[in-house]
Structure 1
């Protein structure tokens, strides 16, 4: 087994836990739908996050050619998967109480944590490129990261529902564009 295959096991477990968190929470909401006040915004963020998980998994295949693994290099990738997991942990409710749950109220309570973890994920992603490659990523990737940083910061700071809705729709389009431009082929 090569070094990356060995290291990828733990990364895969964390990504798998995050996917499980998202899918389990979604299933829970469906099962208890009679006690859930649905609102599309948190569900869209969960869908965006699901797409990000798939993109991260897809892009990690490119790390297989990295040959000089160090403990700090592994830790920074581990940190990125950990912040992704934490985003999944806060975006949808952990449980549905007998009294019910309002998805928008839940998201409003968790919004700062969600966008804080989102911001951390993006910053770690840029730092990961520097640590693994000794330089910043290409200009296109950096431009997308800058958009994600700006969106995360404003999501963190601006509470207005209408703004949050526009932000989520913009993020959805930008993530799809990002994947279409940079990640259509494996490796």
Structure 2
């Protein structure tokens, strides 16, 4: 077993837990639909987080050829899947029997934790990409840093228009990144 194969197990477990949490939360919301006032922002972020976790797991395959690993680098790498798991845990409420939920109210009440957790993943990835490229001006590093700042800024405002604008912009940029990566346009 290669070092990557060994280390990827823990990465996969953490990503798997995040995906499981998102899907279970969505399932509970559907079951409690008569007691839930829906709002598009947390639902869109749940979709974006699902895709982010799958994309992060998919992209981690590039490390299969990395021969040398050390504990501290691995801890550094683990910060992104851990942040994505935490974001998955914050994005939708834990639905309990008999309770009513307003997703817009919940979204803004948890925005600090949610968006600081989401921002941590591209921030860590920006540092990793800059280190791998040997330059802080690497396009991947810069785009991740910009994403981290945009998403992180959402933790500090309750303006609906700002959340809508940044969510749609980040979602569009993320979709463009995935399409360009899939088509190997970068």
Change (3 A) 1:90 1:164: same
Separation in 1, partners of 2:144, 2:29: 32
Post-superposition shift, 1:77?
A: 1.3
1:182 aligned onto 2:181: yes
The superposition leaves residues 17-55 of structure 1 with CA deviations (integer Å, 9 ceiling, x where unpaired) of 000000000111011101100011100011111111111
Comparing 114-123 with 149-158, greater Cα deviation is found at 149-158
Deviates more, 1:31-40 or 1:145-154: 145-154
Distance 2:135 2:123 in 1: 12
TM-score calculated relative to the size of structure 2:
0.91
Alpha-carbon distance in 1 for matches of 2:97, 2:127 = 40
- Name the structure, 1 or 2, with higher relative contact order (CA <8 Å, separation 6+): 1
Between the two proteins, the alignment pairs up a number of residues equal to 184
Q: Helix, strand or coil: the match of 2:134?
A: coil
Q: 1:136 offset after TM fit, Å? A: 4.2
What is the correspondence of 1:43-54 to structure 2 with a 5 Å cutoff? 43-54=43-54
Cα distance in 1 for residues equivalent to 2:60 and 2:183 = 13
8 Å Cα contact 2:151/2:166 also seen in 1: no
- TM-score, L = length of structure 1: 0.91
CA drift at 1:106: 0.7
User: Could you list the runs of 5+ residues in structure 1 that have no partner in the other structure?
Assistant: none
Q: Alpha carbon RMSD of aligned pairs, Å?
A: 1.8
**Distance of 2:136 and 2:55 partners within structure 1:** 16
